[in-house]
Structure formats: C-alpha cells, structure tokens
Amino acid sequence: MSKLCESAVEEMAIEELQSIGYTYTAGIDLASDAPNAERASYGDVLLTGRVESAFRRLNPDVPADAIKEAVRKLARIATGKPWIVFLVLGIGLLGFLSVFLLRKKRLAPASRK
C-alpha cells in the first residue's frame, strides 16, 4: 500500500472541495502583506471577515450585534487556544476526507484481523 504525504491529502481535499463549488485561495494570498490581506499574521488562525459573512448568510434573522458577538467570542478562543480551532477543523476535515477517500476508492478501509 502506498503512503500518502500531507501535500497529496491536501491536494485531494482541495480538488474535491472545488468540485462541489468551493473556491481555493492559497494562504500566501491572504497574508498580511498580500494585496487582499485577510489576516494580520499567520498566527491569526481565524479569518474573522469570512466567518462573519458566513454567519450572516446562514443566519439572516439573527441581529447583527449577536453575530458580531459570536465572531468576537470565537476569535477569542482562536487567539487564546488556537489548537482548539485546529482540533475542531481537523475533526471535520478528517470526517470529510474519510468519506471522500472511501467514496473515490483512492484508499480502501483497513482490513481487520
């Protein structure tokens, strides 16, 4: 069985997400020195502008102040304990990848002895 490196898994995830309508933007294009910067530094693990836009789109009846407060709280968690954000996103990504990989039959489930 061939091993997958991190870049191969990342590329498969990007391709699959693009195939269902997501747009890929490289991290360097969001960096603080990029023309369309969305973070002050690479330490900013949460793109608050995108999160706020998504909250508004998904919750049109929620007052703007409540959305801003939710984004502020999430940003505080991300700043104080970024590993929590990575853990939550990682669990979601692992679930997505396992379904994706099994569906695409790029990896077969491990056989049990």
Interatomic CA distance for residues 68 and 54, integer angstroms: 12
Percent of the chain with pLDDT over 90: 4
Q: What is the mean pLDDT of the chain?
A: 75
The per-residue pLDDT for 24 is 87
Domain hosting 51: range is 6-104
For the segment 76-92, the average pLDDT, to the nearest whole number, is 63
Domain assignment present for residue 50? The answer is yes
Domain assignment present for residue 30? The answer is yes
The per-residue pLDDT for 112 is 47
Domain assignment present for residue 28? The answer is yes
The per-residue pLDDT for 103 is 53
Domain assignment present for residue 17? The answer is yes
Interatomic CA distance for residues 32 and 38, integer angstroms: 7
pLDDT digits (tens, 9 = 90+) for 15-46: 888 888 888 888 888 888 988 888 888 777 77
Domain assignment present for residue 87? The answer is yes
CB 75 within 8 A of CB 82: no
Domain assignment present for residue 113? The answer is no
Residue 2 has pLDDT above 80, yes or no: no
Domain assignment present for residue 112? The answer is no
Confidence of residue 64 (pLDDT cuts 50, 70, 90): very high
Domain assignment present for residue 66? The answer is yes
Domain total in the chain: 1
The better pLDDT of the pair 87, 26 is held by 26
Residue 98 has pLDDT above 60, yes or no: no
